[in-house]
Amino acid sequence: MDIIYIKGDATSPISPGNKIITHICNDIGGWGKGFVLALSKKWKVTEEAYRQWYKSQEEFSLGDVQFVHVADDIYVANMIGQQGIYKNTNGLPPIRYEAVRQCLKKVALFAMEQKASIHMPRIGCGLAGGKWELIEQIIKEELIDKEIAVTVYDL
């Protein structure tokens, strides 16, 4: 099994059955740039749930995931894989690869429970500043190796 790459919109996942749309969020409660704008436009509840989660601070830290049920067969996984929103004092981008791995482990368990496929943009590579080749390897280890179907959408 391999990652499937297609041209399209990750907010309109194409496959039968249950689907989980995954994306990276920051750990400071910020929601307003990048892929989240498309999510909010389609399902306002994704932003509302994230903001409420941040306010509560319950299990809201790097490596945590919030699953939001947005349609009969679609969940959105708000994954905390980004520390802040800017490069740190050492010049490192906000992406935290180990946090992404921890998030995807949780997504894998949920996907197996729901018998769901995973759909995403190139997570962590836009505003978070990550390198796709590193994230792709984590996806292979945490999802593909567990026989979970993954589709990556490029606009």
Structural domains in the chain plus CATH codes: 4-154 (3.40.220.10)
Q: Six-digit token pair at 117?
A: 């496929």
Judge contact between 17 and 117, C-beta under 8 A.
yes
Task: Give the tens place of pLDDT for each residue, 49-83.
Answer: 999 999 998 999 999 999 999 999 999 999 999 99
% of the chain beyond a pLDDT of 90: 92
Q: How many CB atoms lie within 10 A of CB 8?
A: 16
Name residue 21's beta-bridge partners.
76, 119
Write down the residue that tokens 């190796």 correspond to: 145
